[in-house]
Structures are given as C-alpha cells and as structure tokens.
Chain A
Amino acid sequence: MATQAIRPVRKLDERHLARQRWARAGWVYGAMLALAVFFIGPFYVAFLGSLKDNPLEWPFRYSFAQTQPKNWAAAWRLGQLGAGNPWTGGFAPGAEIPFQISYFLEEGQEPEPPTVTVPTRRAGAGLGAIFDEVQAAQYAQVSEVQEVNRRPAVVGGRPGQIVTYAFTIRYPKGDATANQPTVPRLPLDVEAPRGQQYYAATLDPNRLERRGRVASWDSVTPGFFGYVFRNYVRVFNEARDPNTGASFFLRWTANSFFVSLAVVLTTLLFASLGGYALARMYLPGKNYLFAFIVFSMTVPSQATFISNYLVLRDLGLLGSLWGMIVWSAVGAGAVFIMKQFFESIPREIEEAALMDGATPVTTFFRIILPMAAPALGALTILTFQGMWNEFFKAAVVLSGQQASYTLPLGLSFFRSAYGVAGDWGLMLASAFLSMIPIIILFVVFQRYFVEGVSTSALKG
C-alpha cells in the first residue's frame, strides 16, 4: 500500500508532500509492527499455553490462573508458609496453612460444607512415575471445615449466595527424633455436594474435576515458580535418569553444548585450513576439487547416512556424542565460506610474510588466521546454531541412549513420552527452555547471524 502511494506528484505543494511522507512512514511502521506480531505472536501464545494447566483448553484464554497477580502473591505466601520457600514451596514440619474456598449456591439451596482431603498423588504416566515421591498425605492433618461467611450474590444472571469455608492444613512437628521429611508438594482435593458451584479460593485450583464438583490442586504450597512456572519446574523434576536420579534436561543441555562447541572448534580449524589452501595455494586440479566440493553440498545427507551409520557402528561410536562430533567435524559449506573469505583479502600481506622465509604453516597461524576473525566469528555462530539444532544426525547416532541425547532429540523424546497423555504443558515448557541459549546467542550476536546468512548465500 505504502509503496504504491509514492507517485510523482508534482502539483502537490510542499505541505502536502511533507504530510504524505509522515503518514507514509506511519503506515510502514504499522505494517512492520503487524509483521512482527505475525512472526512473534505464535511464540507468545505458545508461551502462554506453556504456563497453563491445560494448554489445549477451549476456548483459549489469554488471562488465566497463572497470569493473575492475585495467585502470584498467594503462591508466594503459601510457599513461604509451607516450607519457608516462596519460590518453589514445599511442606515442612511445623507448617500451618490456612485456606479458604467459596461456593456459589442458587437460591433455595442449602449450603453444605465440602469434604477436604490431602490425597496420595503419584504420577501415573511419563517419567514422573518412576520415582516414589514422599507423600504429604502421610503427614498432613486437615482441620474441621468451618463456614466463615455468607453473602447474597448474582452469578451468571442467577440470584443466590456465596458461601465461604475455611480450614487449616497442619504438619505437626514431632519430637526431635521423629523422621519428618520436607515434602515437595501438598496436593489437595475439595469435593462439594452437587449443585454447589466453585467460586473462588485462596489459590485458584489447577483443575476442576468430575464436572466441577472437585477442585483439585497439585500443591497448595507451590511457591511462585511452583505455581506460575509449574510445567517448567516439572521438566527438571520429572525427567530424571532412573538409575542416577540426575536431571535429563540438564544433561541434554550439557550434551548439546559439548557437541556444538567441539564441532565449532574442529570446523574453525579444518575449514580455515582447507579454505585457505583452496583460495591461495598452488595445487594441481584445484578447480576440479572445488567443483566437487560444491557438488557434495547438494547431495542430501539421507543419501549417505546409511554408510556413515555403519562406519560409526564399526568405530563403536554409536550412542556416543563423539559419533556426532566425528560425523560433523567439518562441512563442505564451512570450507566454502572460508575460501570465499580468503579470496577477498589482499594478497600482499602474506606474500611479505612468505618473503621473510616463514613456512606456510607459521604464516597461516600467525598472520592469516588473526585476519580472518570476522569470518571466523560468522562461521562460529552458523556452526553453533546448526549443531545446536541438528536433529537428523542425532536421531541416527544417539537413538535409544537417553543419557547421550542432545536437546532436539530430547524434545522428540518428551513428545513421545508425554504426547499420548496429551501433557502439552510439559512439552511446550521443554521447547521454550531449549530455546533459551540460542535466543541469548542471537540477541548478542544478531549482526553475525544476519550478515552470515546474506554473505554466505550471495557469494554462492
């Protein structure tokens, strides 16, 4: 719209033209803002989804329990009360948690106090099922439920009243010899007779079950993170190695860093050596070699992976991160970029060095490589990003060895482990967590990303 609007308007006066220019800039910014929403919007709504108890709820809400400051404050305070830990909560000896819940009753219905229980909750599916959690049900004592308040109200157009009940959950402190662990969470079920409609509570429940009759909390002492970033905390807590108990997700992150950094190092070294030789040194048949390298870049990796898989198998590198590193040690694309770069720098400098009698090896490491810093920077970023995101090679080499997974494979593992149960909160949370390092890298080095793409592509 904006571009079409610029016409040679010779008869318009200056004031008109200035007005047009300003308005045009406004429209362009508007368009760019709309595009930014288009590219970032999906990630924003997915992030909202990752905070929800049920990311697939219908209709989609932008405002829900986890986004409400009221619940943030309550979660913080309850975490503090439960175990003196406002961040991740818990349930420690001596804790005393006052709790209130309100129900709406239509006119003519007699209020009846709900039944409060601290249930035994074991994860039934996914990796959480592996570990026997200490259960709060063993230690918690629920006081009698008392009605504290009644007030008339109209909800959804129906007249009636709102009745509030209060109760306290205690963790009685035994004598010093008693073995009383701090329990990680305090689940709660509050069941009301049919017809009483849940209205509000100290902390909003994670879900309403049995058609609204049971309000259910995963923990009423969650702490801020435990409530708002519940799914994110679960990524670390649930996905653990059954033999060692170590967090899978941290392990995968470390693996991803290890593989990416190792490949960056080998690529920088081998690609700059190779690129320099191709750009500057005398070698018969060099052009044919270069043409062949370019050809190799167009052959899909699916056409060569079978043999590579077998080679790595014979080397005993399957299921090992080293297998990934060896397979990706240096790519034709990286050599290509370095060759292009070395061709663009002036020849005189190295010739002077060679005149002084330095060998090509010293010249290369002392003079050429330091000059190549910008190209190496771009190559580092591209290689790191490529390896961090690499899925195909990981799927071929690391399949089945959970402790050696990299993050992309870990995500696909979560997808299959939690997909059947439709546990989208955990899958989305793990996807966002896996993005953090690459986002940081991108924000810091965005120039390199953007330049790396356009230069390497245009020179091809």
Chain B
Amino acid sequence: MSLQFLADGILMGALIGLGAIGLTLTYSILRFANFTHGEFITWGAYLTLMLAAVIGGAAAPSLDPLGPFSFGWGIIAAGAIAMLLTGGLALALDLVVFRRLRVRGNAVIMVIASFGASLALRSLIEFIFTSRPTYFSREIQIAIPLAPGVRATPDQLSTLGLALVLVVAMHLILTRSHIGRAMRAVSENPALAQCNGIDVAAVIRATWLIGGALACAAGVMLGLTVQIRPYMGFDLLLPLFAAAILGGIGSFPGAIVGGLIVGVAEAAGVGLVGANYRAAIAFLILIVVLLVRPAGIFGARD
C-alpha cells in the first residue's frame, strides 16, 4: 500500500484539528455541544469567496497566482478579513440567541438552538449560492513528489503550513496572554474565575471570536484543497466532534492530535472500504472512544 494516504490524512487531519480547537474551546468554556460550528466553516469559505471577488474587482492582479500556488494575495487578504467576519458572526449569534438562553442555565436547550441555527445558516447559504460546488481558483496544480509514492500539491503544503502557524499562535495565546489564561481559568471553574476578578463575558467573547476565526481558516483550507459547497462544514461536523472527544473535551493538544488521528484514519479507511463510507469512519472512532475511554486521550479520567 502506498503511503499517499498518510499525506492526505495528515492534511485533512490538520484541517479537522483546526476546526476541533474551536469546538473544544466552546464546549469547555460555554459548556454545550455547538452544532453551529460546522456552519462557521462553510460561512468562512463563502465569505472569503465573496471578499476575493470584491478585491479582485478593485485590483484584478490580486487574483493572479503567486508562484507555484493556485491563489493570489487577493485570496489571502480575503481570508484574513473573513476570519474576523466569521468571528463576528459567531459573536452575533451569541448575542441574539445563545446569551439569552445561557442566562436560563439550560445547556440542552442551547444544543437544540444551535441545531436550529445551523440548519438556518446552511440553508441560507444554499439559497444565496445554490448547492452547486464552486472553487477559489480553476488553476490546475501539479503535485510534487515528496517521498517515494507520496505527492502533494503546493496548495496542500501551504495549507499545512498555515495550520501549523495557527496552532503555534493558539498555543501562545492560551499559555502566554492574559485572555488565554483567563479562558483556561473559566473552563476549569467559571464561578471561581469570576470571584478572582476575571471578566467572564470577555472570555466568552474571545472564545467565539477565536472559534469562528479558526473555523473560517479551516473552511478556506478546505475550499483551496477540495471545493466549496453549502454542506462542506456540516459534513465535517462529525469528524470534528470525533476529534474533540478523542482528544478529550477542553484539551487543546487533544484537538490537534484527535484531528490528525481522525484524518489519517479516514484516509486509510477510504482506501479499504471506499470513499462512500468516509463519514462512517469518524462515527466508528467516536463509538470506540465512548466505549473504551470516554474522557479522551488527554482528558482526566472520570
């Protein structure tokens, strides 16, 4: 068996990991399973698409490919702005829906609301852009050989690099910055954190902003390497949950390791059972984790 699946799996895994970081953050700080997270991925990709069209309209050369890549600086700039906007979308959703439900202190109602909001957001994208898949660029990429039997396109390598940069940045934020430490404190014990003068509302805002921005980055990566379609985020939701639970809810390294494991397992599984059952592989991982070690790899044992 060729090792190509490993390269594909690591690439997909990095992407799942990025999405799972946001999911695990919202899960441990806001304390509910957020089904809207997949839509942040989709919205991030479509927002980037729209912004890139605007930037391309103002300065056409911005869409010319940079070096070996299929995208120009227009897409990079659009992606950066879209990360902010997706974070803003998450914040707005919190303001309109989740904050008001949180006051009532019922986490399961929040899960239902997130389920409803996710369907509405996804169908809105489908309404505006129709369900036809689209692409950032129609440039054809030539895969470069990395090792015997293993190839990757420059786009894939660039997204892997971007994932690495974002993970390091997140690590620094969580360990070195004031807001990062505050986030960890709130996830551990919100009441105690508040007693110590931590602004819980600010922590919640930061969580939505970071979660939305990372989901957007994952969406742009997925759009660059696969395609953009209204269900792209929804289809990723199960792998995201599997990765977050496999790593241990609330664990930042767990989300990345979980993402990589799910990504490689999916790529290996596709080789064995065919691409049709891809989504079932994440489900199998989820079931095995829940049976064997529900706290996850990095989670404390219950």
Task: Specify whether A and B are partners.
Answer: no
- Chain B residues with CB under 8 Å of chain A are none
